[in-house]
Amino acid sequence: MRVLVTGGSGRLGRSVVATLTERGHTVTSVDTAPPPPGTEGMIADLLVTAEREDVFTRARPEAVVHLAGIAVPFASPDLDTLSINARLAWAVLSSAEAHGARSAVAASSPTVYGYNTPSWRPRYLPLDEEHPVTPWHAYGLSKAFIEQTVAALARTAKSCTMTCVRPGYVVAPEEWEGAVTQQGHTIAERLADPALAATSLFNYVDARDAGDLFALVIENPDRVAGGQVFNAMAADPLAPGPVDALLPKYHPATAEHAAALADGRAVFSSRAAREALGWNPARTWREQVPAEVRDALERR
């Protein structure tokens, strides 16, 4: 299948491109940065109509994976984050439909849930796709816009199934070995200091596992509903043990429901992706970090 990946040069995008290629797809990456080595790619600004049309005309995608945009909270001024992410989603996804793609999936984010404010109180745990979203910062709001854009376009799409995936705290392969993560520290530091991982409710996902879910979505449009959203997180928390006691320390309003996590499960549920598409993240932090990191945690 011919697949167009926007944002294919990014931390998540590189693994998505590699996964799709390994699964036998013909992948074209489009980004404002050069494509990953060995990948067919284009450099373009997808907010410029002429450049976007040229990309879609040349790539002739049968499926589109939309990852491009401002990738993390507070990386750009709020108005830029809102404008770029919302406009890109509409531009790319409507172009996917117009150019005959059968499937299009956009990257959202668990930040749509609105955690990290004193007023945030989950209705239940773990958090699934049915839980209300209450974003509070521009990045989370932009991702909620993307989900609503997908839902809006899905209502009138005639031949293109449009969906969203919410990848958790994405860990690229090199970051397990000590490369700095998106927030400027290492995974070893994130595991050693719970305050770091608490900001994302201890969620994570290996970029390659996220790539598998994006692939499953576009490969099986008949098994997903237009406008459907899937969480994509590892089944365990990014912490040395269960977080039922740890979570309320940093997010007191979770105390009422935190006991549900005593068995070691993650704060987020990805059951919908498992049930619809058979997605099971294959990589856990315990298997991916170097042995010396695990040993240091055990000695604490």
> Would you say 91 and 31 are in contact if contact means Cβ atoms under 8 Å apart?
no
SS3 per-residue string spanning the chain: CEEEEECCCCHHHHHHHHHHHHCCCEEEEEECCCCCCCCEEEECCCCCHHHHHHHHHHHCCCEEEECCCCCCCCCCCHHHHHHHHHHHHHHHHHHHHHCCCCEEEEECCHHHHCCCCCCCCCCCCCECCCCCCCCCCHHHHHHHHHHHHHHHHHHHCCCCEEEEEEECCEECHHHHCCCCCCCCCCHHHHHHCHHHHHCCCCCCEEHHHHHHHHHHHHHCHHHCCCCCEEEECCCCCCCCCCCCCHHHHHCHHHCCCHHHHCCCCCCECCHHHHHHHCCCCCCCHHHHCCHHHHHHHHCC
Question: Can you give the pLDDT at residue 278?
Answer: 99
Distance CA 237, CA 267 (A): 7
Q: Which domain holds residue 7?
A: 2-298
Task: Identify the sign of the CA torsion 147, 149, 154, 158.
Answer: negative
Question: Can you give the pLDDT at residue 286?
Answer: 96
Question: Can you give the pLDDT at residue 30?
Answer: 98
Question: Can you give the pLDDT at residue 300?
Answer: 75
Question: Can you give the pLDDT at residue 40?
Answer: 87
Could you tell me the mean pLDDT of each successive run of 10 residues in the chain, 300 residues long?
98 98 98 90 98 98 99 95 98 98 99 94 98 98 99 96 98 97 95 97 99 99 98 98 96 97 98 98 97 88
Question: Can you give the pLDDT at residue 119?
Answer: 85
Q: CB within 8 A of 24, min separation 6: which ones?
A: none
Q: What is the CATH number of the domain that holds 200?
A: 3.40.50.720
Total number of domains constituting the chain: 1
